[in-house]
Amino acid sequence: MKKLIPILAVSALLAACAQPQEFHVIPMPAQVTINQGSFCAKCANVSVDEKLDSLSRKAVARFVEALEIASGSKTKTGEGGFRFILNPNLAAEQYSIEINKEGAVVEASALNGFVYACETLKQMLPAAIYSGKPAPASCSWLLPYASILDQPRFGYRGVMLDCARHFWSVEETKKVLDVMTAYKMNRLHWHLTDDQGWRWESKNYPLLTSVGGWRAGTQVGKDKSLGQTDGIRYGGFYTQDELRDVVAYAAERGITVIPEIDLPGHMLAALAAYPNLGCKGGPYEVRQFWGISQDILCAGNEEIYEFLDKLFDELVDIFPSEYIHVGGDECFGGRKEREGLVPWDTCPKCQKLMKKLGIKPGKEARHYLQDYVTQRIQKMLADKGRKIIGWDEILEGNLAPGATVMGWRGTDGGEKAVAKGMTAIMSPNTYMYIDYYQSAEFDKEPVCIGSKVLPVEKVYSYEPLEGMPEGAEDLILGVQCNLWTEYVTTPENLEYMLLPRMCAAAEVGWVAAEAKDPARFDKSLDHAFEIFDAMGLNYCLDSRGKIGFDRVPARDSVELAKYLEEREKEKK
């Protein structure tokens, strides 16, 4: 990918009369020159190069529709004004915008470039363009004369959404995709399965959702040792048609959806549905508590490989992504539990397999056995034309070329992957786990996991190549922020945890290290907050000294059930 030299040049004052808004685009484009003068976007002509593909035309049409609704005026077809032109010389995610007295010329070579150009233009206009409603008459629709040449630093810029602990509807998931689009994120890592719930429909294994998709209750409070649950049945799942709908919706916005089927651990929901897949043979039940179950897939049982093979046949038919995420994390329970026995240590089938493979008994044997499972899954998916991503625990094995490591336990995982010549996606919990608290005033915040604090400025401070060996820039594919949802119970809560920290992650993935500017980013957040308001999103204002969750109070599970019931009544 061609590297752009990051430049921010403000070459002249903006037009004195009816000045347009200041330039506060997130993520900041690589090269920007602002010139004197302005072009009025309201009632402008629009022309689209006939060479644009259908999805790029849809992206332009969405921009035009948003402009027309917000400005209250129709655009016209004709010369000048907005011109969208195919330029095959630009990279796939690169775009250029030239705004002068003739109008605004947008050039790109593919869908993503046109999507990003449209989002840059939208951020240069009043935030009301994101509302889907007419804007106040006082809004100015002037765009400053400007030259913009832009493309991202990293090709992978992701958000992980956990729908296993708490389930998010198709509508709610699309809202996440909308805000990802606005800030040029291009990968949705969809965590679809875990001990607490199985969230996607399998035609081959229907019990995965009818049994595994529901838990009998949910942990109350943060101390699971108290053994308290609310006793309220909780669950949900996506049909295959709904999965395809989300994938198509994302694809139209230049976003690839990467599904995760976490294995061989974090599979208790699947074991509850098909107990023959576990070492003990059951009975199992979908986990009601947060944390990790010691019950995992039986590595020595050939049935699990047939089971996974059929599942992945369905999955690759629904998700066209190059990668499938196979988890691989926390396979043997919590740290204390790792000192004791796990099912693999005593299971006759697993012991027989270890002997066949020449694995010597002992605690390290578990890692070798997990490596065997991962290698078989990697080959299984390779035969289906796909590659695997796994959490950094997969580094403990011997993978075939093509696997990508997602570093999450600090930055060590990514560093070790690169040292081995493997590709990595940086998602360290020290910078990118946006399920942590946003301020240290815990009593004013919604309940979060643990007691770590990750404010937006720390997310912004992350440098993915820091501490990496030479040549790492060719192996680090990008970055990802992760939103686990043990304590995230409502859409408003979800949005609050996501925003504005996702915007900081977007800049980390897009902007060159030397071009990052915390003061400029902080000032641009004011416009981002206006956009969130226009989109009807909840968000955290801790960066503005307004700590708390006043707009939508945190709820325990009993209150949540009542809230959901009231919301359903309102819909009817």
86/54 Cα distance (integer angstroms) = 12
343 vs 555: CA distance, rounded Å: 36
Query: Is residue 270 classed exposed, middle or buried when 0-12, 13-18 and 19+ CB atoms within 10 A define those classes?
Result: buried
Cα separation, 523 vs 529, in Å, equals: 11
Task: Determine which helix (DSSP H) or strand (DSSP E) holds 32, and give its type and residue range.
Answer: strand 31-40
What own/partner pairs with CB < 8 Å and gap ≥ 24 does 127-131 have?
127/527, 127/530, 127/531, 127/533, 127/534, 128/70, 128/534, 129/66, 129/67, 129/70, 129/71, 129/534, 130/66, 130/182, 130/531, 130/534, 130/535, 131/70, 131/534, 131/535, 131/536
DSSP H or E run through 387 = strand 387-391
Query: Cβ atoms within 10 A of the Cβ of 45, count?
Result: 14
CB 437 within 8 A of CB 451: yes
C-alpha–C-alpha distance, residues 195 and 216, integer Å: 13
Rounded to 10°, the helix 111-124/170-182 angle is: 80
Inter-residue contact 277 to 298 (CB < 8 Å):
yes
Report the length, in residues, of the chain: 572
Q: Scanning the structure block, which residue is given the tokens 């004013």?
A: 444
* Burial label, 182 (beta-carbon count in 10 A; 0-12, 13-18, 19+): buried
| Torsion 26-30-34-39 (CA) sign | negative
As to burial, measured by CB atoms within 10 angstroms (0-12 exposed, 13-18 middle, 19+ buried), residue 222 is middle
Of 241, 343, 329, 233, nearest to 299 by C-alpha is 343
Residue owning tokens 């006043």: 550
Cis peptide before 320 (omega within 30 of 0): no
Catalytic residues: 194, 266, 330
98 burial type by CB count under 10 A (0-12 exposed, 13-18 middle, 19+ buried): middle
State whether the Cα torsion 366-367-371-372 is positive or negative: negative
Cis peptide leading into residue 401 (ω within 30°): no
Identity of the residue numbered 220: V
188 DSSP assignment: E
Place of tokens 């920290």: 501
Instruction: Give the count of alpha carbons within 13 A of 536, CB side only.
Output: 7
> If you ran DSSP here, which 8-state letter would residue 218 be given?
-
